């Protein structure tokens, strides 16, 4: 059997990697990470613990991935890992939140793998800590979305919206219509982290590594 770990590497600050993630990355036979023109935030986060000789970058072209892309990636991982070996696949934040890893698990058609997932600190949890605002307090509800339905927002107290760069203006308008106060947080946990609340300033930003945290004004 071969074992593949989905490792959540947290929001970017290496100090927010878990001890378990570090142990597994250090002891892995192969380290896999999505290739983003030779760069990858999860990889940068874990850089100190990465043996370059064991590193394999896999291509998942943004907006162009299909089930075939994930199947081919799993076949490559299968070819590169020998029986009895362990691989780690590095994910930004946590592997259960908008991540490539679960697409790989779902596209896997071979029985040679055992999968295990190691949680990481999700970006929106790190951002809420950073601005020191509750994601949820007693009796409230919370929505995590990348493109929330306008009417759904009416029934929600608090929301985190990831992947904001696609339609930032539309998202802010929806939040305003539904009477939310919002924070825009980019590059959470990095030294150049940016926190904005002014609409015009937010709209000047075009950072993929950004999210919105919003709570109903009435709360
Ligand atoms: C493909 S999703 C991955 C989410 C990740 N699995 C998590 O648990 O946060 C990528 C989105 O996560 C958010 N994100 C990840 N890291 C971030 C960071 N350090 N600062 C701000 N947003 C971040 C952004 O909204 C980005 O567009």
Q: Does the pLDDT at position 110 exceed 90?
A: no
Q: Ligand 1 centre from 209 Cα, in Å?
A: 6
The predicted model gives 85-105 an average pLDDT of: 96
Which pLDDT score, from 0 to 100, does residue 120 have? 98
Pairing mode of beta strands 210-216, 158-161 = antiparallel
CA–CA dist 62, 152 (Å, integer): 28
Asked if domains 2-118 and 123-216 share a fold, the reply is no
The predicted model gives 166-179 an average pLDDT of: 96
CA–CA dist 98, 77 (Å, integer): 21
Nearest CA among 201, 206, 152 for reference residue 175: 152
In this predicted model, what pLDDT tens digit does every residue of 133-157 receive, in sequence order? 999 999 999 999 999 999 999 999 9
Which of the 8 DSSP states describes residue 155? T
Which pLDDT score, from 0 to 100, does residue 64 have? 84
The predicted model gives 56-83 an average pLDDT of: 91
For residue 126, the surrounding DSSP H or E stretch is: helix 123-131
Residue in 13, 62, 93 to alter for ligand 1 test, most ligand atoms within 8 A of Cβ: 93
Q: Does the pLDDT at position 63 exceed 90?
A: no
3-class DSSP assignment, residue 124: helix
CATH class entry, domain 2-118:
alpha beta
Query: Which residues fall within 8 angstroms of residue 6, CB to CB, at 6 or more apart?
Result: 89, 91, 95, 99, 101, 102, 105, 115, 116, 117, 118
Would you identify the CATH topology of the domain 123-216?
A: 3.30.950
Q: Ligand 1 centre from 40 Cα, in Å?
A: 12
Q: Ligand 1 centre from 86 Cα, in Å?
A: 26
Q: How much is the mean pLDDT over the chain?
A: 95
């Amino acid at each position: 059997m071969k074992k593949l770990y989905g490792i959540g590497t947290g929001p970017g600050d290496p100090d927010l990697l878990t001890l378990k993630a570090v142990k597994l990355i250090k002891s892995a036979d192969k380290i896999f990470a999505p290739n983003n023109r030779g760069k990858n935030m999860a990889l940068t986060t874990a850089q100190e613990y990465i043996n370059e000789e064991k590193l394999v970058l896999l291509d998942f072209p943004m907006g162009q991935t299909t089930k075939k892309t994930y199947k081919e990636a799993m076949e490559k991982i299968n070819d590169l890992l020998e029986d009895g070996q362990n691989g780690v696949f590095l994910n930004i934040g946590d592997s259960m939140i908008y991540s490539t890893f679960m697409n790989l698990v779902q596209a896997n058609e071979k029985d040679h793998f055992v999968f295990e997932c190691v949680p990481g600190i999700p970006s929106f949890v790190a951002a809420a800590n950073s601005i020191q605002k509750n994601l949820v307090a007693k009796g409230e509800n919370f929505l995590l979305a990348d493109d929330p339905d306008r009417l759904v927002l009416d029934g929600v107290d608090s929301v985190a919206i990831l992947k904001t760069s696609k339609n930032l203006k539309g998202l802010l308008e929806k939040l305003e219509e539904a009477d939310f106060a919002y924070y825009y947080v980019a590059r959470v946990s990095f030294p150049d982290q940016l926190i904005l609340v002014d609409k015009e300033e937010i709209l000047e930003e075009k950072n993929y590594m950004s999210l919105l945290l919003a709570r109903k004004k009435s709360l």
